[in-house]
Structure 1
Amino acid sequence: MKNVKLYTQPACPPCEFVKNYFQMHDVKYELLNIKEDRAARNELINDHGSMSTPTVVIDGEVIIGFDQNRIDELLHLSSRKND
């Protein structure tokens, strides 16, 4: 199983897209709210070089923003664009 982390914060519509997408595809992930968790915020900035949400980290691969194609590629998900 892949190690998936989602860095998020309140009032972040793209973060909701990622959460819904993960739910749709039964992706298990760790949710890290950078507004409530200072350590998560520091990890996001210092370890992953990101200053925005959503940031998804899949087995160490950093995706800033909701990049569905890259998420699909790393998680081996099939997209349902034409359904």
Structure 2
Amino acid sequence: MKNVKLYTQPACPPCEFVKNYFQMHGVKYELLNIKENQAARNELINEHGSMSTPTIVIDGEVIIGFEQERIDELLDLSSSKMKD
């Protein structure tokens, strides 16, 4: 199973979109709210070089924002699976 982290914060519509996308595909992930969790915010900035949400980390690969093709590639999802 892939290690997936989603860095988010309140009032972030793109974050909600990613959560819904993951749910639709049955992706298990760790949700890290950077407004409530200072350690998560520090990790996001210092380890992943991001100050934006959503930031997704899949097995160490950082995706800033919702990049569906990259997410699908890293999680072995494909549009053909959605059609089945």
| TM bucket, shorter chain | over 0.9
- What code does the residue aligned with 1:61 have? E
* Secondary structure of residue in 2 paired with 1:47: helix
- What code does the residue aligned with 1:73 have? E
Q: How many residues align?
A: 82
Normalized against structure 1, the TM-score is what?
0.95
Structure with greater helix share of residues: 2
For structure 1, list consecutive stretches of 5 or more residues without a partner in the other structure. Answer: none
C-alpha displacement of 1:2: 0.2
Task: Tell me whether 1:18 sits opposite 2:18 in the alignment.
Answer: yes
For structure 2, list consecutive stretches of 5 or more residues without a partner in the other structure. Answer: none
C-alpha displacement of 1:79: 2.0
Q: Percent identity?
A: 87
- What code does the residue aligned with 1:20 have? N
**Alpha-carbon distance between aligned partners in 1 of 2:40 and 2:78, rounded to the nearest angstrom:** 30
Root-mean-square deviation (CA), in Å? 1.2
**Alpha-carbon distance between aligned partners in 1 of 2:70 and 2:79, rounded to the nearest angstrom:** 11
Instruction: Give the match for residue 72 of structure 2.
Output: 72
* TM superposition outliers: structure 1 runs of 4+ over 3 Å: none
**Alpha-carbon distance between aligned partners in 1 of 2:32 and 2:40, rounded to the nearest angstrom:** 6
Instruction: Give the match for residue 47 of structure 2.
Output: 47
Normalized against structure 2, the TM-score is what?
0.94
